Structure 1
Amino acid sequence: MKREWVLNQESFNKLLALFDSDIERAAEKYEYMRATLIKLFECRGCHSPRDLADEVINRVARQLEEGKDIHPPSLVNYFFGVARNVLREHQRHPESTMATLDALAPAEHPAEDPDALFDQLSARYKSEQRLECIETCVAGLPPETRRLILSYYEGEEGIKIENRKRLAESLGIPINTLRIRVHRIRERLEKCVADCLGRAGE
């Protein structure tokens, strides 16, 4: 009889390392991924969204344990690819994971195309990852540089022009010099964010 594969601590540690080399950040990213997968299966009206999310995670963990080299350009897309397979299997054999119809939670988007839903949740996941990286990179700037970049982009569109003029005056520099400084800071931030997203697996 074929033995059922069970996620053990060693396999789980390998899985966490896939998310981040830092254990705390890895745990946070793992929890966020699991919550996103649960939301996905809930939106499809699946009776056991947590079980299906765990099935996705177990499959990836098993691939790692069996020696598969997983270094995709986008980690979220990799997990969502596995989730697509799990969802399709579930839809073909709903009796394996579904209870009676009366016990089913109503689908939030019953007529929605699964692929479109995957894309929507994937985009939201990436957007939140990007915002988190931007906040981290801005926080890592020297205090004066951070104040400069935040002040430069402060205010509504119409107010920004006047704010920038006052900012240049307070620094005793021409507005064009201010723009050049901000451009250089942005280049640093963009590189920092790109590196951060790369570590996050986007």
Structure 2
Amino acid sequence: MVSIQGLRARFDDLFLPLHGAHQAQNAAVALASVEALLGEAPLDEELVRAAFAEFTSPGRLEVVRHSPTIVLDAAHNPHGAEATAAALEDSFAFDPVVGVIGVMGDKDYEGVLAAFEPHMDHLVVTQNSTPRAMSAEALGQVARGVFGEDRVTVVPDLADAIDRAAALAEAGQAFGDGIGAGAVLVTGSVVTVGEARAMIRPVGRDRNAGGS
């Protein structure tokens, strides 16, 4: 639930079916942009409520499977990774969290890894299918320097990497207390997340988080 002071009016207790404080900030920008484009008249409150309730953001903290939960987020720089990590802590209670990361070679991949390291119990390193992708082996070497040898598994094929991570998440006792439900976070690149999304039919297709 969010409350937004717009350019023309204030809207309280809007239901936003997305996860993370940064998503609420994005929604506020969207609302203000519409107000600026449409002139001086305030927006109809019921229309705003209906629009917010239908918001989707594919590939942005999008839950696409349960048992174990698989979440997609296209964070590809340190700032985005920090926002995603904060949202994970704020919106979910996953234990353990197993990451699947595939990055582009021209990005700050070490900064992305450092942002996620405190929030992931194990990391499965992979790669997407584009020529710009950093190889899983090369990324794995960097990841071991950030996460440590025992917390990194290298699986070049993305589909196999997701399967391996799901198995690790279900075997959560291996990483600590295992008192919560394990989850997989697929991240590191818009392309990686897009390819993963094509492999996994999202829960309530094109919904950010819905029923099972």
Same fold (TM over 0.5): no
The structure having more radius of gyration, on CA atoms, is 1
The structure whose residues are more often strand, as a share, is: 2
The structure whose residues are more often helix, as a share, is: 1
TM norm structure 2: 0.31
Point out which structure has higher relative CO (alpha carbons under 8 A, 6+ apart): 2
TM norm structure 1: 0.32
